[in-house]
Amino acid sequence: MSILYIFADESGTMPINDRDDPFVAATIGFLDNLPPPVPRSNDNDELASILKTQKALPVVTFVRPFPNYAKLVKTKYKKFEIMARAKCLLEGKTIQYPDKDNINIRNDVWQQAILQSIIRNLLNIVFDYSPCTKIKFIFDEKTMTQNRRILFEKLTLNIDLMLRQYLEGFKDNYSESLLSAIINKIQFSRHSTSIIWSDNPNFPENYAFGLKLADRVARKIYQTLKGEFDFISILKKVGCKDFSIDITQQIARPVDRKLIENWKREMGLPESQI
């Protein structure tokens, strides 16, 4: 049974305004073995060497605001809110509304960045390694409501379904036999996937260093985006590839038309024009 440990952390505040600083989410995967603590892991070259020696699988996603970013993001999530409110009203359910300081939008940005990093990390596994049958997610503690954490955990536990749907989108790029072989390597499911947060009172001590590595990678990529040094080039020199993904356009692009059309058919309502 192959076990994949994925440690996740972030650096920066989730951006919602044009002039906000960048935000970085990092996941680091280890197949079967947990990384033992190594001294001087905060040094740039030493950290890169540790990742190479430990056969770590790092992936970072980042969001870097641009002019008009704020308007695009707030319009998108306002539309999401209106659609969710209408659905709840018709189904007789209640909905939590975003509060005045946009904390919900920030958490949406965090959630999308973390999930995108996880998916890219798993894609590296299914393309380049033998099938993985079990996944353990280790997340740093995050300030959010209990309902938000439950929602995030539900999405994460069903990551196998999200990954299959993502791969199905490549049916025009790969032969049916090759795509089927790749998808068949997804041998984990929600029943073999577990989550633990660092604020859990029973958090295992041997998980601490892996989480520290994720924190340091996220922070050093954040510093790279701020122009302090170039940690991306350092990682490339030790053989890391396809590990850095800019998801800014994904965060800022409008709500998917298919989602809107499905909502219109289901609700029997016209699209909100905001």
Of 213, 96, 217, 195, residue with least CA distance to 139: 195
Residue position matching structure tokens 């510093």: 223
Contact between residue 8 and residue 138 where contact means Cβ atoms under 8 Å apart: yes
The reported pLDDT for the residue numbered 95 is 57
Comparing 60-64, 81-85, 100-104, 269-273, the range with the smallest average pLDDT is 100-104
- What confidence tens digit (pLDDT) does each residue in 3-20 have? 999 999 999 999 999 999
The reported pLDDT for the residue numbered 113 is 96
Give the pLDDT band of residue 116 (cuts 50, 70, 90).
very high
Q: Where are the domains of the chain?
A: 3-267
Residue position matching structure tokens 């044009």: 18
In whole angstroms, give the CA distance from residue 270 to residue 256.
16
- What confidence tens digit (pLDDT) does each residue in 19-35 have? 999 999 999 999 989 99
Query: Is pLDDT above 70 for 102?
Result: no
Give the pLDDT band of residue 176 (cuts 50, 70, 90).
confident
H helix runs in the chain, sequence order = 44-53, 69-91, 103-128, 146-157, 159-168, 176-183, 208-225, 231-237, 248-252, 257-267
Contact between residue 74 and residue 16 where contact means Cβ atoms under 8 Å apart: yes
The reported pLDDT for the residue numbered 255 is 80
Contact between residue 62 and residue 23 where contact means Cβ atoms under 8 Å apart: yes
How many CB atoms neighbour CB 28 within 10 A? 29
Query: Is pLDDT above 90 for 166?
Result: no
Between these two residues, 150 and 91, which has the higher pLDDT value? 150
The reported pLDDT for the residue numbered 93 is 64
Between these two residues, 88 and 219, which has the higher pLDDT value? 219
In whole angstroms, give the CA distance from residue 246 to residue 220.
15
% of residues, the chain, pLDDT over 90: 55
Between these two residues, 103 and 263, which has the higher pLDDT value? 263
Query: Is pLDDT above 90 for 153?
Result: yes
Comparing 17-26, 33-42, 196-205, the range with the smallest average pLDDT is 33-42
Query: Is pLDDT above 80 for 198?
Result: yes
- Residue 58 burial by CB count (10 A; 0-12/13-18/19+): exposed, middle or buried? buried
The reported pLDDT for the residue numbered 103 is 59
Residue position matching structure tokens 């302090």: 228
Query: What does pLDDT average to over the chain?
Result: 88
Q: Left, alpha or beta for 188 (phi > 0: left; psi -120 to 50: alpha)?
A: beta
Comparing 47-56, 166-175, 239-248, the range with the smallest average pLDDT is 166-175
Between these two residues, 75 and 215, which has the higher pLDDT value? 215
Query: Is pLDDT above 70 for 97?
Result: no
Q: Which two tokens stand for residue 204?
A: 């295992």
> What is the length of the chain?
274
Between these two residues, 45 and 92, which has the higher pLDDT value? 45
Give the pLDDT band of residue 100 (cuts 50, 70, 90).
very low
